[in-house]
Amino acid sequence: MIVTRVRLRDFRSYAQAELALGEGLTVLHGRNGAGKTNLLEALYFGCTGRSCRTSNERELVRFGASATRVEIDARDDDGPHSLSVGFQPGEAKRLRADGAPVDRLVDVAARPLVSVFLPDRLELVKGAPALRRAHMDQLVAALWPARAATRRAYTSALAQRNALLGRIRAGRASRASLPAWDAEVARHGIALRDDRAAAVELVREGFATLAGELGLAGEPELRFRPRSRAATAEELAAELAERTDADLERGFTGHGPHRDDLLLARDGRDLRAYGSQGEQRIALLALLLAEREALAQARGAPPLLLLDDVMSELDPERRERLAARIARHGQSVVTTTDLAHVPGAADPGVARVAVADGALRPDTPAPAWEAA
């Protein structure tokens, strides 16, 4: 599925804007602060119903406006699709897919997948393991939509077990029902860990290749680090039971897939601790690109790739390699302050759009399907 057009209203710096995307690469260029990143965020927001930059969604509404709205036009083999997100702070978001109200856009089957690289997302490499677990679970959900429910089931079973631990500790409940919750946590936990392991396995080799290509010296490595090595749900339940006393002391469950991590390393050393800023950026980029290729394999279509200001920090040779990777397949949107930093930006088939003062000015004619 590809995104053909995005329309925004009162989104960040934009009062109103509309942009047609090219089938391959679209380059947004303009000076710093012109609103390029805001446009990428709007694309992400329109496709997922979430922001990729902030958890305070109030910020998305243009200063002085009361609500914001983003509409996405997309199409696949079946024909055109539409998604829309309306948001007014303090109220539930209004999400629609093909005109029908939905609770969550991420559950909609006919939606474009998106993969985004923002400099702030470096947190994924250097931040807490929870971010990497959430990221792995998003990848699992994108690869196998039916398995998205596993994370939710595990989270709710774990919350129940933790609540029970708290009640036992406070003397308000007995241990009698603990084995049942151990089994329920373990049943979903094993499924969740196996899904993560399978997803990382699909990306592992691609990561090593891409990280090498983009200039990560030595031996780049991506490795899933599960907390438990239990082979079956029964084994995991037994591991939980063994640790009950420690859990009761702490008041929460200390073992299980909610302690898993994803290791990004070079020559066996964790980039989180030992990587330079530049190495961490390359690792993140390699991870996102490898996931995109895995998704292209598994789902038949690569996600829309949003790259914010990624070229400026790479040397010319690596820019060339990155541009070649991006151009291989699928749709992507790249922002830059300087068109010269994007190899191939002048090629026919590449859409170029100048961004200035909350307005968009395409340098290239609208894509062919717009005429029809």
Partner 1 sequence: MNAPPIQRLVTELAKLPGIGNRTAQRLAFHILRADPQEAYALADAIREVKERIGLCEVCFNLAEGPRCRICLDERRDPSIICVVEEPNDVIPIERTHEFPGRYHVLGGALSPIDGVDPEDLKIAQLYARVAEGGIREVVLATNPTTTGEATALHIAEGLRERAPDVTVTRLASGLPVGADLEYADEVTLGRAFAGRRAV
Residue (of 271, 322, 229) closest to 132 by Cα position = 271
Instruction: Please answer whether residues 116 and 52 qualify as being in contact, where contact means their C-beta atoms are separated by less than 8 angstroms.
Output: yes
Q: Which is nearer to partner 1, 175 or 269 (CB)?
A: 175
- State the DSSP code for 32: T
Provide, rounded to whole angstroms, the least separation between the CB of residue 312 and partner 1: 41
Answer yes or no whether residue 248 interacts with partner 1 by CB under 8 A. no
Q: Measure the CA–CA gap between 217 and 211, rounded to whole angstroms.
A: 8
Answer yes or no whether residue 128 interacts with partner 1 by CB under 8 A. no
Provide, rounded to whole angstroms, the least separation between the CB of residue 83 and partner 1: 19
Answer yes or no whether residue 174 interacts with partner 1 by CB under 8 A. yes
Q: Which is nearer to partner 1, 116 or 158 (CB)?
A: 158
Name the one range near partner 1 by CB under 8 A: 24-32, 36-44, 142-150, 343-351: 142-150
Provide, rounded to whole angstroms, the least separation between the CB of residue 340 and partner 1: 46
Name the one range near partner 1 by CB under 8 A: 81-89, 143-151, 280-288, 330-338: 143-151
Answer yes or no whether residue 157 interacts with partner 1 by CB under 8 A. yes
Answer yes or no whether residue 15 interacts with partner 1 by CB under 8 A. no
Provide, rounded to whole angstroms, the least separation between the CB of residue 235 and partner 1: 16
- Concatenated DSSP letters for 146-164? GGHHHHHHHHHHHHHHHHH
Q: Measure the CA–CA gap between 64 and 48, rounded to whole angstroms.
A: 25
Among 134, 149, 340, 356, binds partner 1 (CB under 8 A): 149
Parallel, antiparallel, or unpaired: how do β-strands 304-307 and 114-117 relate?
Answer: parallel
Among 82, 160, 209, 244, binds partner 1 (CB under 8 A): 160
Answer yes or no whether residue 153 interacts with partner 1 by CB under 8 A. yes
Instruction: Please answer whether residues 86 and 67 qualify as being in contact, where contact means their C-beta atoms are separated by less than 8 angstroms.
Output: yes
Sequence-separated (6 or more) residues with CB below 8 Å from residue 197:
224, 226
Phi-psi region of 303 (alpha: psi -120 to 50; beta: other; left: phi over 0): beta
Q: Kindly list the distances between the CA atom of residue 202 and the CA atoms of 133, 136, 143, 335, in Å, as whole numbers in the listed order.
A: 16, 12, 10, 28
Answer yes or no whether residue 170 interacts with partner 1 by CB under 8 A. no
Q: Which residues bind partner 1 (CB under 8 A)?
A: 145-149, 153, 156-157, 159-161, 163-164, 166-167, 172-174, 176-177, 179-181, 183-184, 187-188
